[in-house]
Structure 1
Amino acid sequence: MLNRILILFGNELNKNNLLVTGQYLKEKYETEVYGLYVRDIRKYEVLPPTVEGLAVDTSANLMIRDWEKTENIQVEELKKVFKNYFPVEHLLVEDGVPQEILQEKMFGFDLIIAEKSNKITDNQKDLLRHHYKPVLLIPENNSLKVEKVIIANSKSERVNKSVFAFLNMFDRSNNFTSVAVNLEDETDDEFSKYMEIAGKTLNILELEGKAIDIISEKSKEFDILIMGDLKHSFLLEKLTRDTGLKLLENIEIPIYIG
């Protein structure tokens, strides 16, 4: 069930793609849509106006004021765009640490929507490390459809969790394709049985090769990709470029992570 959606805004060049996604889900699933923009107070830690009661040089204060002015302009521009889609009072603007504010807000929403950039930002890393509600990542200049669904199937409990969360949320989606790469010796018969009983069409592809290349190419034929959460992947980030992280950066369609 999809009752309330929260769109997370940052410094995206194109905010319309996120809003079009929210509008699509509102019309299709009759859900409430809110937006969240957090003014990051950590800028004052980088350039504090005073240090132990002593005033910092005026150049630092000027930089802070310029920063605040730019952020205020961004907020006003966001309000103008937001009210073209939703009531402006549904746009929540708060001061704090973005991840801390978002963690609190997640309690009241079913789904978090954020932009998917080609290079993962620090705020996106924080989101994917700590989310406890499903996340939908929308590429720039791309909005959402949920008709043809591809599953990056590692045959793990993380992917299974994402798929079941997706089925519960987008119950009108029926066309699924599971792509498993280099996993022919592993089975997930119970998943196939469940999809059949649930009345979902499931096409199973068992392929060999380089996973990132195969899934990236196959995804071009679909509307949305389901994958498992990446919390473990970020722990290995400095040691190896995990397939999940590569998918996150290279896939050109929306990605759903349960």
Structure 2
Amino acid sequence: MLNRVMVTLDNEAEVEHLARYGKMIIENYPNVEIVGVYIQPGIEEYSYGAGVDYDIKGGKIDHELKIKKAMETEEKIKEKFLSLFENYKFYSKTGDMSEVFLNELKLFDLAIISKTDKINHNLKEILKKHHKPIILVPDLDKFSLDKILIADDQGLEVNKSVFDFINAFEKVKEFKAITVNISQESVKDLTFYLEKIEKKIEYIFEEGPVDEIILDCAKEFDMLVLGNLKHSFLVEKLIGEAGVKIIEKIKKPVFIA
């Protein structure tokens, strides 16, 4: 059951589409609490030397300007976030992005993160270490939970993601699962279990390049459910396996548990 969702913010440009995604969740699950958490790295260093004269000309002024700019940026993000949806909550944290994120995630059921076309260091660390589900959200005009696609490689990781998704978004009743280069006879599908909880799943079987096929199929869906990359992320990044390619190239939200 979904109770609290963390909208993770680290710059002004991503506020609007992440808040819009939060609104979509609220529309489907009115009792969920949405909280914006602004994480700015390095702010703690600004308190160093407060009120101290510097030997280097202009050093203190530069330091104070840096503090002022950081505070102004935080205020802009807070005002923009809360102006979009007045019922949301907001607070800020400082420090290493991935470390703060993982610590704050302890207080939430899942986190929403802005998805870009390239996985940076912070997201890499989050994908390796996250202990709750996350949704990577691209900048889109509209969001929905109507059509959900599961990238089913028959692994334990995707099985966990599916069950975590079901627990979080219990109103979703129908799914499609795509398996690539796996024979229909060998698939252990979820039909039997899902029927017991009044949900339906339909399987799509394809052959060919895994990432290309899943990316093409995902265009028709509102979200892709993907297995986590915790144990194999660095290897996948080096050899260019499908999971990382999909995350970087997909233009739809991705759920990873």
TM-score (normalizing by structure 1) = 0.87
Question: Residues 179 and 73 of structure 1: is their aligned pair in 2 closer, same or farther, counting only changes over 3 Å?
Answer: same
Unaligned runs of 5+ in 1: none
For the structure 1 residues 197 and 230, does the alpha-carbon distance in structure 2 shift closer, same or farther, using more than 3 Å as the test?
Answer: same
**Equivalent residue number for residue 174 of structure 1:** 173
- Matches of residues 47-62 of structure 1 in structure 2 within 5 Å? 57-58=56-57
The one-letter code of the counterpart of 1:102 is F
In structure 2, C-alpha distance between the alignment counterparts of 1:103 and 1:60, rounded to whole Å: 34
Counterpart in 1 of 2:108? 109
Residue 23 of structure 1 aligns with which residue?
A: 23
Aligned CA-pair RMSD: 2.7
What CA distance in whole angstroms lies between the structure 1 residues aligned with 2:150 and 2:237? 26
Percentage of pairs with the same residue = 31
1:152 is matched with which residue? 151
Structure 1 pair 108/204, CA: closer, same or farther in 2 (3 Å)?
A: same
SS of aligned partner of 2:238: coil
Q: How many residues align?
A: 254
User: SS of the residue aligned with 1:225?
Assistant: strand
Shift in Å, 1:138: 0.5
- Tell me if the contact between 1:111 and 1:133 (Cα under 8 Å) persists in the aligned partners: yes
Per the TM alignment, residue 124 of structure 1 is displaced from its structure 2 partner at its CA by 1.5
Greater shift in the superposed pair: 203-212 or 63-72:
63-72
Once the two structures are superposed, residues 186-224 of structure 1 have per-residue CA deviations (whole angstroms, 9 ceiling, x without a partner) of 734352321232222211111100111111110011000
Check conservation: 1:216, 1:247, Cα contact below 8 A: yes
Map 1:106-255 → 2, pairs under 5 A: 106-184=105-183, 187-189=186-188, 191-237=190-236, 239-255=238-254
Going from structure 1 to structure 2, the CA distance change for 1:245 and 1:38 (only over 3 Å counts) comes to same
Instruction: Report the CA distance shift for 1:49/1:243 in structure 2 as closer, same or farther (over 3 A).
Output: same
- Could you list the runs of 5+ residues in structure 2 that have no partner in the other structure? none
TM-score by length of 2: 0.88
Residue aligned with 1:176, SS: strand
What is the Cα deviation at residue 236 of structure 1?
1.0
Q: Residues 179 and 204 of structure 1 are in contact (CA less than 8 Å); yes or no, is this contact kept in structure 2?
A: yes
Measured after TM superposition, the shift of residue 12 of structure 1 is: 5.2
Amino acid at match of 1:11: N
Partner of 2:34: 33
